[in-house]
Amino acid sequence: MSRKLLIVFSVVIAIGMLATACSGAQTEVPATASTGEEVAPAVETVEVIKTVVVEVPAAGEAQPPEIIQAAGYGETLQAILNRGKVVCGVHTELLGFGYLDENGRNIGFDIDLCRAIAAAVLGDPEAIEAVPITAADRGPVLQTGEVDVVTRNMTWTSKRDAEWGNFTWITFYDGQGFLVRADSGVTSLEEMDGATVCVTTGTTTERNLATAFGDAGLTYEAVTFEETSAVYGAYEEGRCDVATSDKSQLAAVRAGFQNPDDHLILDITISKEPLTPAVPTGDAQWLDIVKTVMWGLINAEEYGITSANVEEMKSSENADIRTLLGVEGESDWGYGTLGLEADSLAQAIAAVGNYGEIYDRYFGTEGIAFTLDRGLNNLWTNGGLIYAPPIK
């Protein structure tokens, strides 16, 4: 007998016994017959049975755990929905990554990541506020929550992750290098001993420079600036012998020089520079949203989903593709918990394209900024490191 039935049976017996006990205490009213003699009254005993159903979990039956969200969960998304735009900390002077076109519109690889987030969350890639920030501003604007996300060529390190905010997903693999004049004859680190080096302050670049020269027993004089543009302006003016930064940044700057061939990026890499968007701490939902949008762009390239064929691919025979695009009837890839629409990733892809489209738009052979071989930024299926968890 199950525990539930045993309890019900016990309740029935108890009530029956109580009713029987009560019937024995009934008040008798004397009755007088026509002869005037008292007649014993007729007493009818009524047994009342009441059935009470008590829900008791069966032995061994697991109960679903109560989901308790941390304080702050969902607050960023709600704030964005209320204001109608995503606030992104960006670069406005780095060709290819974050800069202004001839009409003053923010464009670039990092800007498109910001637009992808807005398209997924608000359904509109133009619903962004691009806040220009310097390299030194990146940590403070995350720590104070002044922006919703920083999409500005920012290296992910353990210290920054611990102190600045939550870093999301690596979207660009880079490494620090050196830019010199082609006629300088410099080809190695040792040949830069005693050189003056222009560098942006408040960056991993500045620290890597000190480490590389120190480990090699070399000396140098640092010429530091907060603004990236000032670093290369000083280099062009001859105020330093060498400029150092991420190689992608050096390529961007070199492409903008009047005579790019007069300058050479050395075949030296002194660091790992994984670049990624980051968000303020305190809202796990928002962190997951931004990560998932990045994953969606990467998976879209793997599946061959482009900005031009999103609607067509919704009819794909591949269930994983239909799931990613939010086709009705397919499984929930997490959009419900994240507070998004089922087709939010489809909207992001339709707005800015997949990861490869974004890269080629600025750095491909026909890119509008400059040509930069994908190298490590190829998909993992093509010899690179760009990889993302599945959307399912």
Share of the chain above pLDDT 90, in %: 80
Query: Are 53 and 121 in a shared domain?
Result: no
Residue 64, domain member (yes or no): no
Amino acid at 46: V
Each residue's pLDDT tens digit, 22-80: 444 444 444 444 444 444 555 555 555 556 555 555 555 666 666 667 778 999 999 99
- Please calculate the CA angle 119-125-130 and round it to the nearest 5 degrees: 120
Amino acid at 260: P
CA distance 272 to 367: 25
Residue 388, domain member (yes or no): no
Query: Are 169 and 279 in a shared domain?
Result: yes
CA 59 to chain CA centroid, nearest Å = 42
Residue 308, domain member (yes or no): yes
Q: Which of 227, 243, 271 is the last residue of a domain?
A: 271
Q: Which of 247, 271, 295 is the last residue of a domain?
A: 271
CA distance 214 to 55: 73
Residue 210, domain member (yes or no): yes
Q: What is the per-residue pLDDT for 202?
A: 85
Each residue's pLDDT tens digit, 233-265: 999 999 999 999 999 999 999 999 999 999 999
Q: What is the per-residue pLDDT for 71?
A: 76
Identify the domain containing residue 4 by its residue range. 1-24+45-57
Which residue has better confidence, 59 or 389?
A: 389
User: Distances in Å between the alpha carbon of 370 and those of 141, 202, 257, 282, 377?
Assistant: 30, 27, 12, 38, 16
Query: Are 316 and 189 in a shared domain?
Result: no
Beta bridge partners of 87: 129
pLDDT average, residue stretch 272-278: 97
Please give the structure tokens belonging to residue 140.
């403070």
pLDDT surpasses 90 at 383: yes
Q: Which of 271, 293, 320 is the last residue of a domain?
A: 271
CA distance 137 to 202: 9
- Please calculate the CA angle 76-390-167 and round it to the nearest 5 degrees: 40
Q: What is the per-residue pLDDT for 20?
A: 45
Q: Which of 389, 392, 380, 300 is nearest to 348 (CA)?
A: 300
Query: Are 161 and 292 in a shared domain?
Result: yes
Which residue has better confidence, 16 or 315?
A: 315
Tell me the whole-structure pTM to 2 decimals. 0.81
Query: Are 194 and 124 in a shared domain?
Result: no
Each residue's pLDDT tens digit, 4-27: 433 434 434 444 444 444 444 444
| 3-class state of residue 5 by DSSP | helix
Query: Are 360 and 293 in a shared domain?
Result: yes
User: Distances in Å between the alpha carbon of 17 and those of 8, 13, 20, 43, 53?
Assistant: 15, 6, 5, 19, 18
344 phi and psi, to 5 degrees?
A: -60, -40
pLDDT average, residue stretch 143-161: 97
Each residue's pLDDT tens digit, 109-136: 999 999 999 999 999 999 999 999 999 9
| 3-class state of residue 132 by DSSP | strand
CA distance 300 to 293: 11
Helix axes 75-83, 284-303, angle to 10 degrees: 80
Count of other CB atoms within 10 angstroms of residue 55: 6
221 phi and psi, to 5 degrees?
A: -115, 120
How many Å is the Cα radius of gyration of the chain? 35
Query: Are 227 and 365 in a shared domain?
Result: no
What is the domain count for the chain?
A: 3
pLDDT average, residue stretch 305-317: 98
Confidence of residue 208 (pLDDT cuts 50, 70, 90): very high
Q: What is the DSSP string of 246-274?
A: EHHHHHHHHHHSSSGGGEEE-S-----EE
Query: Are 168 and 280 in a shared domain?
Result: yes
Query: Are 286 and 334 in a shared domain?
Result: yes
Q: What is the dihedral of CA 5, 10, 12, 13, to 10 degrees?
A: 140
Share of the chain above pLDDT 70, in %: 83
CATH number of the domain residue 158 falls in: 3.40.190.10
Q: What is the per-residue pLDDT for 69?
A: 75
Query: Are 187 and 211 in a shared domain?
Result: yes
CA distance 323 to 344: 11
Query: Are 168 and 182 in a shared domain?
Result: no
Q: Is the dihedral of CA 170, 274, 89, 279 positive or negative?
A: positive
Please give the structure tokens belonging to residue 182.
């082609």
Kindly report which listed range (276-285, 289-298, 325-334, 340-349) carries the lowest average pLDDT score: 325-334
Query: Are 328 and 184 in a shared domain?
Result: no
pLDDT average, residue stretch 149-156: 96
CB 289 within 8 Å of CB 81: no
Q: What is the per-residue pLDDT for 157?
A: 96
